[in-house]
Amino acid sequence: MKKSKPTILVVNDDGITAPGIKALMDAMAEIGRVVVVAPDSPQSGMGHAITIGKPLRLDQVDIYEGMEMYRCSGTPVDCVKLAVNKIFKGKKPDLCVSGINHGLNNSINILYSGTMSAAVEGAIESIPSIGFSLDDYTLQADFSHCIKYVKELAQQVLDNGLPTATLLNVNFPAGAHIKGIKICRQANAKWAEEFDERMDPHKRPYYWLTGVFQMNDNGEETDVWALEHHYVSVVPVQFDMTAHHAIPVLNSWEFKV
Amino acid sequence: MKKSKPTILVVNDDGITAPGIKALMDAMAEIGRVVVVAPDSPQSGMGHAITIGKPLRLDQVDIYEGMEMYRCSGTPVDCVKLAVNKIFKGKKPDLCVSGINHGLNNSINILYSGTMSAAVEGAIESIPSIGFSLDDYTLQADFSHCIKYVKELAQQVLDNGLPTATLLNVNFPAGAHIKGIKICRQANAKWAEEFDERMDPHKRPYYWLTGVFQMNDNGEETDVWALEHHYVSVVPVQFDMTAHHAIPVLNSWEFKV
């Protein structure tokens, strides 16, 4: 005997008009009752930012027929907080899904990603949460090959739940030739920055942040490896950032204060 | 035989004119050569946000005599990236310190904190990094009782280094009665949001993010416990967010795709 239709909160960081969130809300509508709360403008790279110095707007909008949607003036994390507090009013949704992001959020990108931070915030609120991202930055990105995996992973999380205080970071390779799902760890990698320095018309310099992804990990159990080998990467994520293994090291220090 | 004076990057999220960063740069000037790179305006709650949709400004400023200082138009993480790339030009500093933040960044606050995210970015750049925060939000905060601990912790990190891919999250109780330093784990806690809803003059609602800190952890080895008991809390932090213990759980799922 099945329980009633689950309620699913859909968020993203590319903004409420992005094709990626349309693909995600349509997929989720096949599984449950969908409520969309998304930023009114692109918020890529916002990480876990919240809005504390200015007030927020939250307005219901009618973009796609039959879809309950709200646009928010804040960050992706603000969207989740407002959804829980002002829309669900304490009766939490059964699932929070974020994305589908235009661009990968594997490896170290999880820290910079508004998409993943929204999913992390869902997990902090004890809502089973998943972030989805595709290896295609363009607004023309084709999400169609992701949909069956998105639905399967959402259903598995609804059926099985997730270990306490964890969420999923799911990344898709571009193109249709997917070999399957791989459970992975976050690859050890970073961005090597290369600021593009330019001069404004007033002869003052300004800088565009660019960079090269620098892989420092040969492991075959990483998300980077999985994506390079045409798997969907699934990394279980936690928000306890304690380096537990470092506690005994620090306890061996002799403080002179 | 001592090696030459260490180079110390000082950053924060409260902005370049905050008293907390003045206290920190003065303390660090007793240990090494200081370079300050800080946001030109308050960036509290910016988390690990980076600026990708607009260009950045970085200008040397002459605020305090004899201090090498730069103000940046971006986020705390942008400050670290620009410092490494445009000021140090690849020759990394020996230490990155962030703060002293006006307000605690213990427990779950690490995720929202620009102060801590700047220190995390330093660690991603393989620079030994420490974030410092004081339990006093006001601009009148008194940092004087923190200074001997700040210097001792900075010196210990310079002397001993830190375990690979870790950094320190250091929080101070307000007031002078400190019992000592405690190595801790991040307490399991969250913010229970309470959005303050108001009406603008045009009868449209807007929301101020507020909240109550909700402690879900009775452990005596947490940062929250240490601070409540007048200790300086020191949490070793990592930026591998993989929930390694959840990997076998997910591997037991049978995917139907």
Q: Is the pLDDT of residue A90 over 80?
A: no
Number of Cβ within 10 Å of residue A7's Cβ equals 17
Tokens of A200: 């404004």
Q: Pairing mode, if any, of strands B166-172 and B129-134?
A: parallel
Chain A residues within an 8 Å CB radius of B53: 42, 44-45
Chain B residues within an 8 Å CB radius of A128: none
Instruction: Please name which of A166, A170, A187 lies closest in space to residue A108, comparing C-alpha atoms.
Output: A187
- Given pLDDT bands bounded at 50, 70 and 90, which one contains residue A38? very high
Instruction: Please name which of A9, A15, A194, A186 lies closest in space to residue A110, comparing C-alpha atoms.
Output: A186
Sign of the Cα torsion A251, A255, B4, B10 reads: positive
Quick one: pLDDT at residue A194?
Answer: 86
Quick one: pLDDT at residue B4?
Answer: 85
Residues in CB range of A216: below 8 A, 6 or more apart: A188, A189, A190
Quick one: pLDDT at residue B3?
Answer: 64
- Given pLDDT bands bounded at 50, 70 and 90, which one contains residue A218? very high
Residues 85-144 of B with CB under 8 A from A: 85-86, 108, 110-112, 117, 120, 124-125
Q: Cβ contact (<8 Å) for B152 and A84?
A: no
Provide the b/e sequence for A99-108 (b: ≥16 CB within 10 Å). bbbbbbbbbb
Tokens of A99: 């994305």
In the predicted model, what is the mean pLDDT of residues A211-230?
Answer: 96
Q: Cβ contact (<8 Å) for A249 and B46?
A: no
**Contact, A28 vs A8, CB < 8 A?**
yes
In the predicted model, what is the mean pLDDT of residues A118-132?
Answer: 98
Residues 35-74 of A with CB under 8 A from B: 42, 44-53, 55-58
Quick one: pLDDT at residue B193?
Answer: 83
Binding residue numbers of A for a divalent metal cation: 13-14, 44, 101
Preceding peptide of B50 cis, ω within 30°: no
Quick one: pLDDT at residue B166?
Answer: 98
Chain A residues within an 8 Å CB radius of B117: 47-48, 111
Number of Cβ within 10 Å of residue B101's Cβ equals 31
Residues in CB range of A95: below 8 A, 6 or more apart: A6, A7, A8, A9, A28, A32, A127, A128, A129, A130, A154, A157, A158
CA distances to A218, A240, B13, B183 from A244, in Å: 24, 10, 26, 10
Q: How far apart, in whole angstroms, are the C-alpha atoms of residue A68 and residue A37? A: 9
Chain B residues within an 8 Å CB radius of A48: 47-49, 111-112, 117
In the predicted model, what is the mean pLDDT of residues A1-5?
Answer: 69
User: What is the strand order of the sheet A129-134 is part of?
Assistant: A58-61, A68-72, A33-39, A7-11, A95-102, A129-134, A166-172, A231-238, A180-183
Strand partners, B71: B38, B59
- Site of tokens 């993480």: B77
Amino acid identity, position B117: S
How far B132 CA lies from chain A's nearest CA (Å)? 16
**Contact, B106 vs B90, CB < 8 A?**
no
- Give the residue on A whose Cα is nearest the Cα of B80: A193
- Site of tokens 């003065």: B26
Q: Cβ contact (<8 Å) for B186 and A50?
A: no
Q: Which parts of chain B register pLDDT below 50?
A: 1
Instruction: Please name which of A209, A188, A189, A190 lies closest in space to residue B85, comparing C-alpha atoms.
Output: A209
Quick one: pLDDT at residue B208?
Answer: 96
- Give the residue on A whose Cα is nearest the Cα of B188: A240
Rg (alpha carbons) of chain A, rounded to whole number: 19
Element (H, E) at B96: strand B95-102
Please give the share of chain A, as a percent, with pLDDT higher than 90. 95
Chain A residues within an 8 Å CB radius of B112: 48-50, 77
Q: How far apart, in whole angstroms, are the C-alpha atoms of residue B117 and residue B125? A: 12
Residues in CB range of A52: below 8 A, 6 or more apart: B44, B45, B209
Instruction: Please name which of A27, A219, A208 lies closest in space to residue A106, comparing C-alpha atoms.
Output: A219
In the predicted model, what is the mean pLDDT of residues A225-234?
Answer: 98
Whether chain B has a CB inside 8 Å of the CB on A242: the answer is yes
Quick one: pLDDT at residue A179?
Answer: 96
**Contact, B233 vs B223, CB < 8 A?**
yes
By CB neighbour count within 10 A (0-12 exposed, 13-18 middle, 19+ buried), where does A256 fall?
A: exposed
By CB neighbour count within 10 A (0-12 exposed, 13-18 middle, 19+ buried), where does B151 fall?
A: middle
CA distances to A193, A205, B55, B97 from A200, in Å: 21, 6, 11, 32
Instruction: Please name which of B129, B48, B143, B115 lies closest in space to residue B84, comparing C-alpha atoms.
Output: B129
- Give the residue on A whose Cα is nearest the Cα of B54: A208
Mutating which of A242, A244, A252 best tests the B interface, going by the most B Cβ atoms within 10 A? Answer: A242
Residue B142 annotated in ligand binding: no
In the predicted model, what is the mean pLDDT of residues A83-100?
Answer: 95
- Give the residue on B whose Cα is nearest the Cα of A210: B52
- Give the residue on A whose Cα is nearest the Cα of B76: A49
Strand partners, B8: B34, B95
Quick one: pLDDT at residue A176?
Answer: 79
Sign of the Cα torsion B162, B163, B165, B166 reads: negative
Chain B residues within an 8 Å CB radius of A47: 46-50, 77, 117
CA distances to A134, A148, A168 from A176, in Å: 12, 12, 22
Preceding peptide of A100 cis, ω within 30°: yes
Chain A residues within an 8 Å CB radius of B150: none
Q: Cβ contact (<8 Å) for B181 and A257?
A: yes
Residues in CB range of A238: below 8 A, 6 or more apart: A165, A166, B241, B242, B243, B246
How far B20 CA lies from chain A's nearest CA (Å)? 19
Average pLDDT, chain A: 96
Domains and CATH numbers, chain A: 7-187+219-240 (3.40.1210.10)
